[in-house]
Amino acid sequence: MPPVYGDPYAVLGLTRSATAAEIKHAYFALVRTYPPEREPAMFKRVRAAYERLRDPQQRIEADMLLFERWPASDRTRRASTLDLTLQHADIIAAARSLTDLSRSDWRDVFEPVKI
Protein backbone atom coordinates (compact mmCIF):
# COMPACT_ATOMS: atom_id res chain seq x y z
CA MET A 1 0.00 0.00 0.00
CA PRO A 2 1.40 3.44 -0.87
CA PRO A 3 2.08 5.91 1.92
CA VAL A 4 -0.72 8.26 2.87
CA TYR A 5 -0.03 11.99 2.41
CA GLY A 6 -2.83 13.84 4.22
CA ASP A 7 -6.08 14.52 2.41
CA PRO A 8 -6.08 12.75 -0.97
CA TYR A 9 -8.94 14.92 -2.22
CA ALA A 10 -6.95 18.10 -1.52
CA VAL A 11 -3.89 16.68 -3.30
CA LEU A 12 -5.96 15.98 -6.41
CA GLY A 13 -7.92 19.23 -6.06
CA LEU A 14 -11.29 17.51 -5.75
CA THR A 15 -14.29 17.51 -3.45
CA ARG A 16 -15.47 14.45 -1.55
CA SER A 17 -18.39 14.03 -3.91
CA ALA A 18 -16.10 13.44 -6.92
CA THR A 19 -16.91 10.52 -9.16
CA ALA A 20 -14.42 7.86 -10.26
CA ALA A 21 -14.15 9.51 -13.68
CA GLU A 22 -13.37 12.89 -12.12
CA ILE A 23 -10.71 11.31 -9.91
CA LYS A 24 -9.09 9.66 -12.92
CA HIS A 25 -9.24 12.87 -14.97
CA ALA A 26 -7.69 14.93 -12.14
CA TYR A 27 -4.94 12.33 -11.67
CA PHE A 28 -3.87 12.31 -15.31
CA ALA A 29 -4.02 16.12 -15.49
CA LEU A 30 -1.70 16.35 -12.46
CA VAL A 31 0.65 13.70 -13.86
CA ARG A 32 1.05 15.82 -16.97
CA THR A 33 1.71 18.87 -14.78
CA TYR A 34 4.11 17.08 -12.39
CA PRO A 35 5.88 14.33 -14.33
CA PRO A 36 8.03 11.94 -12.26
CA GLU A 37 11.22 12.95 -14.08
CA ARG A 38 10.98 16.65 -13.10
CA GLU A 39 9.12 16.62 -9.77
CA PRO A 40 9.31 13.17 -8.16
CA ALA A 41 8.12 14.29 -4.71
CA MET A 42 4.90 15.83 -6.01
CA PHE A 43 4.36 12.90 -8.36
CA LYS A 44 4.58 10.51 -5.37
CA ARG A 45 1.96 12.55 -3.51
CA VAL A 46 -0.37 12.58 -6.51
CA ARG A 47 0.13 8.85 -7.13
CA ALA A 48 -0.50 7.97 -3.46
CA ALA A 49 -3.68 10.07 -3.43
CA TYR A 50 -4.91 8.43 -6.62
CA GLU A 51 -4.18 4.94 -5.26
CA ARG A 52 -6.22 5.76 -2.14
CA LEU A 53 -9.21 7.01 -4.11
CA ARG A 54 -9.40 4.72 -7.12
CA ASP A 55 -10.19 1.56 -5.11
CA PRO A 56 -13.72 1.85 -3.61
CA GLN A 57 -12.76 0.03 -0.39
CA GLN A 58 -9.68 2.19 0.19
CA ARG A 59 -11.73 5.30 -0.65
CA ILE A 60 -14.20 4.43 2.10
CA GLU A 61 -11.31 4.01 4.55
CA ALA A 62 -9.82 7.34 3.47
CA ASP A 63 -13.20 9.06 3.89
CA MET A 64 -13.54 7.69 7.41
CA LEU A 65 -10.07 8.90 8.38
CA LEU A 66 -10.63 12.45 7.20
CA PHE A 67 -11.81 14.96 9.75
CA GLU A 68 -14.89 16.86 8.72
CA ARG A 69 -16.22 19.81 10.71
CA TRP A 70 -19.81 19.69 11.88
CA PRO A 71 -21.90 22.14 9.85
CA ALA A 72 -22.79 25.31 11.69
CA SER A 73 -26.40 25.67 12.70
CA ASP A 74 -28.34 28.62 11.35
CA ARG A 75 -30.79 28.40 14.24
CA THR A 76 -30.34 31.02 16.94
CA ARG A 77 -30.48 29.84 20.52
CA ARG A 78 -32.02 31.90 23.22
CA ALA A 79 -30.48 32.08 26.65
CA SER A 80 -32.19 29.82 29.14
CA THR A 81 -33.52 31.39 32.31
CA LEU A 82 -33.43 29.40 35.50
CA ASP A 83 -36.32 29.98 37.90
CA LEU A 84 -35.21 29.23 41.47
CA THR A 85 -38.18 30.73 43.29
CA LEU A 86 -39.86 28.36 45.74
CA GLN A 87 -43.55 27.84 45.04
CA HIS A 88 -46.18 26.47 47.46
CA ALA A 89 -47.00 23.67 45.04
CA ASP A 90 -43.37 22.56 45.09
CA ILE A 91 -43.41 22.24 48.90
CA ILE A 92 -46.63 20.23 48.88
CA ALA A 93 -45.35 17.94 46.10
CA ALA A 94 -42.11 17.31 48.01
CA ALA A 95 -44.00 16.56 51.22
CA ARG A 96 -46.28 14.09 49.46
CA SER A 97 -43.39 12.30 47.75
CA LEU A 98 -41.37 11.97 50.97
CA THR A 99 -44.20 10.64 53.18
CA ASP A 100 -46.78 7.90 52.98
CA LEU A 101 -49.64 9.95 54.46
CA SER A 102 -51.61 9.79 51.24
CA ARG A 103 -51.71 5.99 51.23
CA SER A 104 -55.18 4.57 51.14
CA ASP A 105 -54.33 0.87 51.35
CA TRP A 106 -53.09 0.98 54.93
CA ARG A 107 -56.20 -0.87 56.20
CA ASP A 108 -55.34 -3.89 54.03
CA VAL A 109 -51.97 -4.45 55.70
CA PHE A 110 -52.98 -3.33 59.20
CA GLU A 111 -52.77 -6.07 61.81
CA PRO A 112 -54.00 -5.29 65.30
CA VAL A 113 -51.51 -5.78 68.10
CA LYS A 114 -52.31 -8.83 70.23
CA ILE A 115 -51.83 -8.36 73.92
| Cβ atoms < 10 Å from Cβ of 58 | 16
Q: Specify the pLDDT at position 80.
A: 80
Calculate what percentage of the chain has a pLDDT beyond 90. Answer: 43
**DSSP state letters, 73-88:** P-PPPPPP----PPPH
Instruction: Write the single-letter amino acid at 79.
Output: A
Mean per-residue pLDDT, 7-32: 93
* Predicted TM-score (pTM) of this structure: 0.55
Angle at 66 between CA 58 and CA 73, to 5 degrees: 135
> pLDDT class for 2, splitting at 50, 70, 90?
very low
Q: Is the pLDDT of residue 37 over 90?
A: yes
Tell whether the model's pLDDT for residue 15 goes beyond 50. Answer: yes
State which fold the 8-65 domain adopts: Helix Hairpins (1.10.287)
